[in-house]
Amino acid sequence: MKRIVKKHRLAIRWFHWVNFPLLAIMIWSGILIYWANDVYKLGWGNKTILKFFPQSFYDALHIPYKLALGMAMHFFFMWLFFVNGLLYVLYTFISGEWRYLLPNRHSFKEAWLVVLHDLHLRKQLPPQGKYNAAQRIVYSAIIVMGFGSIVTGLAIYKPTQFYWLCAICGGYEAARIEHFVLMIGYCLFFIIHVIQVILAGWNNFRAMVTGFDVVKDTPVLSEEIIDDKP
Ligand code: HEM
């Protein structure tokens, strides 16, 4: 028999869906800023394997060459991104949701089994709970990455006032590279996250919108979900 159970709290869903457009705006406005001095590439010496970003990228996305607009948007929306992330972290700790999110001592071993299972190299799925081991690691890592973006962002935003942050990041140039690498990290996370969401199916996605999940009434699953307080 199927039944409806609570899965994601309202606050978590708000933080999650508010974060999505905010992060998109931060990446977009960040590219508008980066365009003015786009020095990064993968390669060595004069050899370039990949340039971030080639002219064709700017052309394809119709990136308007508006540095001032990019800076204005970036420095405004960064506060909303920061406040939303901070509230999410505080709420997660106060509500006890962190128990489902933080990796535990089995997570690193189990995450490997999740990867093998997802690659169809292993039949058995490791223990799931609300989030499996791979999800716990990745969802926690994305919070650390958000923190990293704020720190490296402040370091390159006000390198004189935050000279000590700059020093912690290894200097202005290093902080700028770290800030950029984190952005690439979000894009990779986003691609994998959305693929996983599509693979997990409509029920899983709907749960992140409505908060409810439809589950088959098996004893193990219901025990775990009952544990998730309303
Ligand atoms: C189209 C965009 C997105 C979709 C469709 C989406 C969908 C989802 C879904 C369905 C879940 C629940 C996963 C589950 O129950 O197994 C989830 C969780 C999560 N997503 Fe996304 N997501 C999107 C964008 C993002 C972005 C941009 C980020 C952050 C950079 C993000 C970070 C997270 C985190 C941290 C969780 C765990 C939330 C918690 O329970 O505290 N998502 N997402």
Q: Report, as an integer, the average pLDDT of 47-72.
A: 90
**pTM, full prediction:** 0.88
Q: Whose CA is closest to 13, among 190, 211, 196?
A: 211
* pLDDT tens figures, 70-124: 999 999 999 999 999 999 999 999 999 999 999 999 999 999 999 999 888 998 8
Q: Which atom of ligand 1 is nearest to the CA of 209?
A: 10
Dist CA 185 CA 195 (whole Å):
15
Kindly give the pairing relationship between strand 47-51 and strand 41-44: antiparallel
Rounded to the nearest angstrom, the distance between the alpha carbon of 103 and the centre of ligand 1 is 17
64: left (phi over 0), alpha (psi -120 to 50) or beta: beta
| Distance from the alpha carbon of residue 16 to the mean position of ligand 1, in angstroms | 6
CA 35 to chain centre: 23
Q: Whose CA is nearest to atom 4 of ligand 1?
A: 194
For residue 224, pLDDT over 60 is answered with no
Residue 222 has pLDDT above 60, yes or no: no
> Which structural domains are found in the chain, ordered by start?
2-226 (1.20.950.20)
CB 180 within 8 A of CB 40: yes
Going from the Cα of 135 to the center of ligand 1, the distance in angstroms, rounded, reads 10
